[in-house]
Chain A
Amino acid sequence: MIAFDLALAAGILLCAVSALTRRDRTASVAAFMVLGLLVALSWVRLAAPDVALAEAAIGAGLTGALFLRAARRLGPLRPAAGRTLAVPAALVASGLGGGLAWVFASASPPAIYAPLVAASLPESGVSNPVTAVLLNFRAWDTLLEIAVLVVALLVANLLGSRRLVPVSLGEMTLPFARIVAPISILLAGHLLWQGSSAPGGAFQAGAVLAGGLLALVLAGLAPTGTLVVRGALIAGLSGLAVFLIAALGSEALTGSLLGYPNRAEKVWIVAIEAALTLSIAATLCLLFTGFEKRKTS
């Protein structure tokens, strides 16, 4: 498989270079989208299917759409001012890259986490170790990560970025939307449910759900009224609220922040994940569609 890895690595680097050097905006964005595809393959090769799922859900759905939106709104690339720095910067950067490759390749981490995770997994309430880390051992990280999403939503709301006005794409999109939207809902439910025992989980499920919703929005089949946006905003905020209440509630019960009661861990984790899935889907959709920009005059 070394040939596979080498070809994949070459493709990844090629995509990165194209994404960062093409003057045509669409070329740059398309190369970045393909980079996401190839990177997901490399996560599979690195035995990280959970990460590959997240990359697939985010890279195929939201990121590409977000960058295309920006490419459309930003207009063509302006000519660069000066190129004098380019060569020294390239030398410094390649030196840095070579050094980092050497340092990372020569370091091999002592096995500290693996035995700890293996020993604690039976008490975590779930059997997928990644979910156990994300929602039990290091649930505080995940709570703060959801807080980052919420703050991004607040910033987007503050900026009032131009609301997306989908154009009618005609009746050809109807069969597509009618099949893809329900399947993405089912898929999200499947990923959420199996997250406790196999690769999957709240973020992957939420991102898939958001992708399905985006397809509906783009096909002009989803309502985008002010009330809907307001509801989606509340849904986006609710995930962090549920997580925080669960954190404080678990402390009231067990005396430790995010320490779930014994033998009820799975119920807590699945409940939190279900709330997070909906909230993540709403947040990601809102980050793409944007909020109404109020006119000055």
Chain B
Amino acid sequence: MTTLPSVLGTGLIAAGVGFLAVAAIGFWRLPDLLSRLHVLTKADTAGLSLVALGAACLTGTPASILPLGLCVLLTAISGATVGHLVARSVTPRGGRS
């Protein structure tokens, strides 16, 4: 039924999926690697967080909140790490210039 958590959850998920879609489109449209990397780390993390938050609202059980939170945390860390490493590997002087 349309209770507050379910409406909220669906809304959050819709927003998150929208973010993901924007990230994908931006990834396709943006001209150079570094700006694409930027999109990846930002929109990606935001999108997935919103989706996970929405899913947690919908299910509402503590048992599902832990894995969802971990998912967000891990994806954010890996996205940031890989993004940083890739950026460093393609820019001369180790990315510190």
Contact = CB atoms under 8 A, between A and B. Distances in A.
Contacts of A175: 77, 81
Contacts of A169: 85
A180 B78 contact: yes
Contact of B74 (A172, A173, A183): A183
B85 A183 contact: no
Q: State the majority secondary structure of interface residues on B.
A: helix
Contacts, number: 23
A contact residues, range: under 10
Contacts of B94: 170
Interface string A234-266: 000000000000000000000000000000000
B84 interface: yes
Contacts of A173: 81, 85
Contacts of B77: 175-176, 179-180
B88 interface: yes
Contacts of B7: none
Interface string A145-186: 000000000000000000000000110110110011001000
Contacts of B85: 169-170, 172-173
B73 interface: yes
A175 B76 CA distance: 12
Interface string B55-97: 0000000000000001001100110010011001000001000
B84 A172 contact: yes
A199 B64 CA distance: 15
A173 B94 CA distance: 14
Contacts of A170: 85, 88, 94
